[in-house]
Amino acid sequence: MAKEFPMSNKNFDEIKRIAYEITGINLTDQKKNMIYSRLARRIRANGLNSFDQYCALLAQANSGETTEFINAITTNLTSFFREGHHFDFLQETVFPELLRKNASTHRVRFWSAGCSTGEEPYSIAMCLKEKMPISSWDIKLLATDLDSNVVAHGKAGVYNLDRTDGIGDSRKKRWLLKAADAKSVRMKTELQDLITFKQLNLLHDWPMKGPFDVVFCRNVVIYFDKETQRTLFDRYANILAPGGYLFIGHSENLHKVSDRFKSVGRTIYQKIR
Question: What residues are annotated to the active site?
Answer: 38, 145
Q: How far apart are CA 242 and CA 234, in angstroms?
A: 14
Amino acid sitting at position 262: K
Question: For residue 156, with 0-12 CB atoms within 10 Å meaning exposed, 13-18 middle and 19 or more buried, which class applies?
Answer: middle
Q: What is the helix, strand, coil percentage profile of the chain, to 5?
A: 45, 20, 35
**Segments in 195-261 forming alpha helices (H):** 226-239
CB-based contact 185:176 (threshold 8 Å): yes
Helix (H, G, I), strand (E, B) or coil at 160: strand
The closest alpha carbon to 120, from 152, 161, 76, belongs to 76
Q: Please compute, for residue 246, the number of CA atoms within 13 A of its CA located in the half-sphere on the CB side.
A: 30
Compute, in degrees rounded to 10, the torsion defined by CA atoms 108, 114, 115, 117.
Answer: 170
Cis omega before residue 207 (within 30°)?
Answer: no
CB-based contact 187:122 (threshold 8 Å): yes
DSSP state of 224: B
Q: How far apart are CA 109 and CA 223, in angstroms?
A: 26
